[in-house]
Amino acid sequence: MRVSAHLLASVREATLAGDTPPRAPRSVIGASWTRTIDHGVDPDVGGHNGLLSTDELEHRRQHSPLREILPVLREGLVSVAEAAWHIMVVTDADGRVLWRDGSSAVRKSADRLGFAEGASWAEEVVGTNAIGTALVARAPVQVHSAEHFVRTHHGWTCAAAPLHDPRDGRLLGVVDVSGPAASVHPATLSLVSSVARVAEGELRFRHWAAVDRLRSVSAPLLAGFDGRALVVDHNGWTAGVVGMTPTDRVPLPASVRAGEVFLPTLGLCSLEPLPGGWLIRVGGRDRTPAAGRVVLDVSRPHSWAVTVSGAAGSWAQQLSPRHAELLFVLAVHRSGRSAAQLAADLFGDAGRTVTVRAELSRLRRTLAGVLAHRPYRFADGVDVELLRPPRPTDLLPHSLAPAVLAARL
């Protein structure tokens, strides 16, 4: 961050012109510039896809889990931001600005750039910036001066860290501290990252407190139960179990409704609503779904899902970045891959088979009957559809896996 603004501008100009820059941009910045160029963002003024309406902005605020940890974020960052003539910004997973706090003078400057509540700060709209790039990279990022792709942003410095839901690993959004480029400080990124981890810890504490409350409520219900059953919270985390081996979590469908449902890890079950969760009555012995259809959707840049359909109904699950990579490789190589081949596909190192086997063990617990092994593959008789993004460069943009990098070409 001590690199001069003049040098950064020279690097950007040479890169955009297709010339050899005086020095290479940082890898995270160079990769972001490439994506931004592919999106067709104007390097002089960027883009703008409109502000959210007041009603939509309020709806997103009320339904965002980040609302619960705003006090933690504000306590850790707002006073520092105000003292340094910066602002703190919190966005959702789409890059939409939900909240802003901090210096009123800097907020007015941000308004002139369109950096306002309800605006999109995703890479595909405004190019390389700490918020949009952190969403794609799934890692903390600081972007200074002319590292921003859009020229009108060169007077700014920004540091952002992603925020994840500890219950399911889902990306919730980003917390960012932004201000005048002249006020850049090398410790800002570390501060933002640390506060983000504290905020995620608060979410984790609230989650387990809720599970404990559900456990207390469900204990009398399960005590007299004859058969196999579990009580889980709305995210599938187990609060109580009877008549079967305990499991930490039951992957639930994306849309859960009372009644009969097929759960890949349990078979045919009956779900009944409880305050704060579900009672799952496990019925039948067959845990394997009839051969059916799998749709792997990696068409979006920030979220990925797998949907399993068959005679027992339809079931969908959001995927972590690693599991999205693994299923993508298996969808491309339908004949299957060995652990060593998958290690090379994901890490460029055929020796990392222990990591691969551990991840696939987790996946097979979720997708029982859908994934086979020796070699690892989708089970025989399962029809697999792979939904890719329209732009090859948007394929799992966070990923550095060799197999994914090759597929983007």
Same domain, 232 and 191: no
Same domain, 150 and 250: no
CA distance 164 to 168: 8
Same domain, 259 and 185: no
In the prediction, which pLDDT does 355 show? 93
Closest CA relative to residue 193, chosen from 160, 158, 157, 156: 160
pTM (2 decimals)? 0.81
CATH no. for residue 345? 1.10.10
Same domain, 356 and 395: yes
- The reply to whether 272 falls in a domain is yes
Give SS3 for 6: helix
Residues 327-337, mean pLDDT to the nearest whole number: 95
pLDDT higher than threshold 70 for residue 175: yes
- The reply to whether 213 falls in a domain is no
Same domain, 14 and 159: yes
pLDDT higher than threshold 70 for residue 285: no
Residues of the domain holding 97: 5-205
pLDDT higher than threshold 50 for residue 253: yes
Same domain, 243 and 263: yes
- The reply to whether 89 falls in a domain is yes
Q: pLDDT by residue (tens digit) across 338-359?
A: 999 999 999 999 999 999 999 9
With cut-offs at 50, 70 and 90, classify the pLDDT of residue 59: very high
pLDDT higher than threshold 80 for residue 181: yes
Contact between 285 and 267 under an 8 Å Cβ cutoff? The reply is: yes
Number of compact structural domains in the chain: 3
Same domain, 43 and 138: yes
Same domain, 123 and 187: yes
pLDDT higher than threshold 90 for residue 404: yes
CATH no. for residue 90? 3.30.450.40
Same domain, 107 and 255: no
Same domain, 269 and 306: no
Same domain, 42 and 170: yes
Task: Examine the fold and report which residue of 205, 239, 261 is the final residue of a domain before the chain moves on.
Answer: 205
CA distance 306 to 324: 9
In the prediction, which pLDDT does 3 show? 62
pLDDT top residue among 397 and 301: 397
Residues 323-334, mean pLDDT to the nearest whole number: 95
Contact between 250 and 265 under an 8 Å Cβ cutoff? The reply is: yes
